[in-house]
Amino acid sequence: MAEARRTIYMDHSATTPVRAEVLEAMQPYFAEFYGNPSSIHSVGRRAGVALAQARRTIAALIGAKPSEIIFTGCGTEGDNAALRGIALARRQATGAKRIITLPIEHKAVLYTAQDLAEHFGFDLTLVPVDGEGLVSVEALASALGDGTDVAVVSVMYANNEVGAIQPVAEIGALCKAAGVPFHTDAVQAAGKLPLNVDDLHVDAMSTSAHKFYGPKGAGFLYLRGGTPFLPYMTGGSHEGGRRAGTENVPFIVGMAKALELVEAEREQENARLRVLRDQLIGGILENVDGAMLTGSRTQRLASHASFVIRGVEAEGVLIALDLAGIAASSGSACTSGSQRPSHVLEALGVPAVDAVGGLRLSLGHSNRPEDVDYLLARLPQIVGQIKGSVPVEL
Ligand code: PLP
């Protein structure tokens, strides 16, 4: 019997496997050193020491102080905490009530900003992006004005659907000069782009461990000392009174280990993946009928390739790829079976009829050159077959 082919995983922007070293670092903190890190006794202190060490490790990796790290449960929580916590506190202090963000943000930011506008009396400014998904610093500066009426600016570091990297450091410098708090959603950037918070001029930055080979259910929010912030979760005095709730010690230990590893390998791994990504992009544009690149050629994550394929629906392509042993994504957050095109592709000006054919291939540790060869061998056939048999109706 032929040996079963391993699954080729090309959906690292959705999530990543937990690395063996990470799992090993986490293991003792489930049943051996299980204490509550807030307890006075030695069992608790053992966990408390690990928590403090993880906080120091993460802080050092991003150029922050340990007290500026707030552990969260995920990227969505960090985004909510930053927007709600900062916007409410700054309005209370100064009366500023405008929130500036991008139409291509992850829904964790976009829907939170919309919720603050709809239910909490804030005004929302969405700064448009160009056809490659990039915001211009000039457009952001003009939306910011003198900043006195702005409660918070939130601009994602890298986009999850089209991989576009925003000029975060320049925007951060603008906000700093205007005295306006600046948040970046770095969920897709962590482990792939430099995270030094002073170089980026960010006041707040959210991340999620499961995107960089850590466990699901852990993240951290960097919050610069002195940034206005109202605690969004009240209760005990955990996390400096900014996020109540007993910390998830094993997951946090794992997250710190995972960040340490990806940071150490970042440049080398990016260089390796960039070659594979460019082969994917070149091969798909050349050989797949109707394929167009979405996002920027140059300002994009080294691990990220995204397309729309004219004349097909993403779901059919993804199912056929899965049957061929390749895990990929449409890149859009549309739920399967729904025809609503991605808000990101819409903001890039991709016509709805094309946006239903989104394909995102996001690379990572497990991918080898032969994976790219295999995908490039199968995708043209798959698309050809679907185009022959499945009419797209809109
Ligand atoms: N922000 C971005 C850019 C993301 O890609 C994601 C997840 O895909 C999130 C936020 C939410 O992160 P989490 O799944 O940890 O809640």
Which CATH number characterizes residue 276's domain? 3.90.1150.10
pLDDT at 338: 55
Atom of ligand 1 nearest to the CA of 158: 3
Nearest residue (by CA) to ligand 1, atom 4, is 187
271-295 residue pLDDT tens: 999 999 999 999 999 999 999 999 9
Q: 206 CA to middle of ligand 1, Å? A: 9
- Give yes or no: 334 in active site: yes
pLDDT at 394: 46
* Strands lying side by side in the sheet with 304-309: 291-293, 304-309, 358-362
Cα–Cα distance, 25 to 66 (Å, whole number): 20
Cα–Cα distance, 164 to 373 (Å, whole number): 25
DSSP 213: T
Atom of ligand 1 nearest to the CA of 216: 15
| Same-domain check for residues 172 and 274 | no
Bridge partners for 222 per DSSP: 69, 205
Q: Flag whether 289 is in a domain.
A: yes
| Same-domain check for residues 254 and 317 | no
Name residues contacting ligand 1 (CB within 6 A): 74-76, 79, 106, 108, 156, 160, 185, 187-188, 208, 219
Q: 110 CA to middle of ligand 1, Å? A: 12
Nearest residue (by CA) to ligand 1, atom 9, is 75
| Same-domain check for residues 197 and 293 | no
| Same-domain check for residues 75 and 152 | yes
| Same-domain check for residues 185 and 315 | no
Sequential DSSP letters for 226-293: T-----SB-SS-HHHHTB-S---HHHHHHHHHHHHHHHHHHHHHHHHHHHHHHHHHHHHHHHSTTEEE
Q: Flag whether 393 is in a domain.
A: no
Q: 212 CA to middle of ligand 1, Å? A: 12
Give the residue, out of 11, 72, 211, 360, with the most ligand 1 atoms within 8 A of its beta carbon, to mutate for a pocket test. 211
* Contact predicate 113/150, CB 8 Å: no
* Contact predicate 384/377, CB 8 Å: no
Q: Which residues of the chain have pLDDT under 50?
A: 1-2, 333-335, 390, 392, 394
Using alpha carbons, select from 182, 183, 136 the residue that is nearest to residue 299: 136
In the numeric block, the tokens 């230990």 are attached to: 253
Q: Flag whether 133 is in a domain.
A: yes
Tokens describing residue 246? 């007993």
93-131 residue pLDDT tens: 999 999 999 999 999 999 999 999 999 999 999 999 999
CATH value at residue 206: 3.40.640.10
| Same-domain check for residues 237 and 353 | no
Q: Flag whether 25 is in a domain.
A: yes
Atom of ligand 1 nearest to the CA of 160: 5
* Contact predicate 59/38, CB 8 Å: no
Nearest residue (by CA) to ligand 1, atom 14, is 75
Q: 208 CA to middle of ligand 1, Å? A: 7
pLDDT at 388: 78
Tokens describing residue 173? 């410098």
Nearest residue (by CA) to ligand 1, atom 8, is 14
Q: 106 CA to middle of ligand 1, Å? A: 7
pLDDT at 142: 98
Query: Which amino acid, 21?
Result: E
Catalytic residue among 113, 151, 164, 334: 334
